Amino acid sequence: MFDSYVGINPAYQIPELQYALEKVGVKALVAAKGYRQQNNYGMISHIVPELASSKPGELRSKQLPALSTVIIDSDDHLPGAIKFSDLYDLSSERDISKIEYLQAKICPDSGVNLQFTSGTTGQPKAALMSHFGFVNNGIHIGRRNELDRKEHRMCVQVPLFHAYGMVIATMAGMSHGATVVLPAAGFKAADSLAAIIREKCTVILGTPTMYVDLVRRIVESGAKLETPEIAATGGATCSPKLFADIKHSLGVRKVKTVFGMTETTAVIFQSLFEESPEDVQQTVGHVMDHYEAKVVDQEGNTVPFGTAGELWVRGYGTMLGYWGDEKKTKETIDADRWLRTGDQFVLREDGYGKIVGRMKEVVIRGGENIYPREVEDYLNTYPKVLEAHCIGVPDERTGEELCAYVRPKNPSDTITREELKRFCEGKLAYYKVPKYVRVLNDLPKTTSGKVQKFKLVEMFLKERESANK
């Protein structure tokens, strides 16, 4: 059994980080000393208080028994941790020989990477990817993005703990000899723009949210970009207006779109080399080479082309399964290896597809998956809240934002967004904190007591429409 790399979101707070480390039995943890306002070493020490008194590389933790090594990228020598810059001097000839021996034993179908992706209950699941899926998806993505046609320089605005950064960017770039440019540790439009100009980038990768900010920065600065040729967007739906803004402001000859999911090792639909503006703006692209796709009804029967149903896919990139969760794996992948995506989809006869809704409740905010149940469960612990229900609402910049409808315990109470935001600090990642909060003493429900979330969406859209008049 070979160990796999695990990508962890640096926005995670202590409870989320602890869950992730426990879930997959992390043996060695590599992290920066801090990220933005977060003290990573401090959070790790909170989870494993034995760290400070341990010899580097010999941690024995009651909470995380699998974790033995903590490596921190810092100029300081931190108690119990190995300094990242010292790693080069730690390996012996015997260690190097052992690695060379193991390399020849790695099976292409074995696991290479674990990616956390939230489930319908809000608890993150860890999807295990194979070497075969990683390498091949990178090759085909690179071809669709024309990385094999010349020596490209890619501005990668997305984080590397996502399948987007790992496969669409890194694996595709490595497979075709492209230069990968990382503007900064975290996304900032100013850093991206500076990197594009300085490094003469020809390909740009990002989520719609990032492009909204980048376009705004270009317009405000009056910058004229000369080198970009292709802009690829993915991670969330992109509006036709944003597609047009990207092409005009960045001066690219093509805007491409990708669609996929963690469980498929990234991309399953992507733009072709030549296609109409309508295909780019109104679809998620054409099914990938060597992938199968079908749309089925609630009984699993294939529906005709042009008919909405749930998208199922099958191919080399299908995950090996959810780590330590055989039940969820079987619910997602059937006996014939068809993977249920949970997306309501329309498949055209020519191989192009379009998302028309979601079978799941997942809210995709700027490429980040948010499952309302997790946020609801936490908001329900707030002393003034009787019940909370979260919905996704349209947003021009991020694609979707989270709106929380809360019912107060005391009908006369007021509950503001700011107080709920403070309540979430340190417990939920920033992107999971609802942007909108609405207080209702009476929530729309069915006769069986279930909240009708579609009516909450209607209420929000009606409110927005009235405000815009």
Q: What is the DSSP string of 349-395?
A: TTSBEEEEEESS--EEETTEEE-HHHHHHHHTTSTTEEEEEEEEEEE
Q: Which domains are delineated in the chain?
A: 5-18+25-103 (no CATH), 125-290+315-325 (3.40.50.12780), 363-468 (3.30.300.30)
Average pLDDT over residues 91-110: 90
Give the pLDDT score at 151.
94
In whole angstroms, give the CA distance from residue 257 to residue 232: 5
387 against 402, higher pLDDT = 402
Q: What is the pLDDT averaged over residues 237-265?
A: 89
Q: Which of 270, 233, 279 is nearest to 255 (CA)?
A: 233
Q: Is the dihedral of CA 132, 96, 173, 115 positive or negative?
A: positive
Contacts of 330 (CB under 8 A, 6+ apart): none
Q: Which of 210, 205, 351 is nearest to 285 (CA)?
A: 351
| pLDDT surpasses 70 at 357 | no
Share of the chain above pLDDT 70, in %: 96
CA distance 382 to 77: 40
pLDDT digits (tens, 9 = 90+) for 302-348: 999 999 899 999 999 999 999 999 999 999 999 999 999 988 889 99
> In the predicted model, what is the mean pLDDT of residues 126-143?
96
pLDDT score for 121: 42
CB 339 within 8 A of CB 313: yes
Residues with Cβ within 8 Å of residue 299, at least 6 apart in sequence: none
Residue 83, burial from CB neighbour count under 10 angstroms (0-12, 13-18, 19+): middle
Query: SS3 for 461?
Result: helix
43 has pLDDT over 90: yes
Per-residue burial over 43-63, b = 16 or more CB atoms within 10 Å of its CB, e = otherwise: bbbebbeebeebebeebebee
Q: Is 213 helix (H, G, I), strand (E, B) or coil?
A: helix
d(CA 11, CA 35): 8
- Within a 13 Å sphere around the CA of 259, how many CA atoms are in the beta-carbon half? 23
pLDDT, average across residues 18-22: 94
Q: Which amino acid is at 216?
A: R
Note the pLDDT of residue 82: 96
Which DSSP state fits 451?
Answer: B
CB 263 within 8 A of CB 127: yes
Percent of the chain with pLDDT over 90: 69
Q: Can you say how many angstroms the Cα of residue 98 is from the centroid of all Cα atoms in its chain?
A: 34
pLDDT value of residue 447:
43
Q: Which two tokens stand for residue 330?
A: 């079987």
Parallel/antiparallel/unpaired status of strands 363-365 and 353-358: unpaired
Helix, strand, or coil (residue 469): coil
Q: How confident is the model at residue 271 (pLDDT cuts 50, 70, 90)?
A: very high
Tell me the average pLDDT of the chain: 91
Cα–Cα distances (Å) from 155 to 62, 172, 190, in that order, read 42, 13, 13
Label residue 198 exposed, middle or buried (CB < 10 Å: 0-12, 13-18, 19+). Answer: exposed
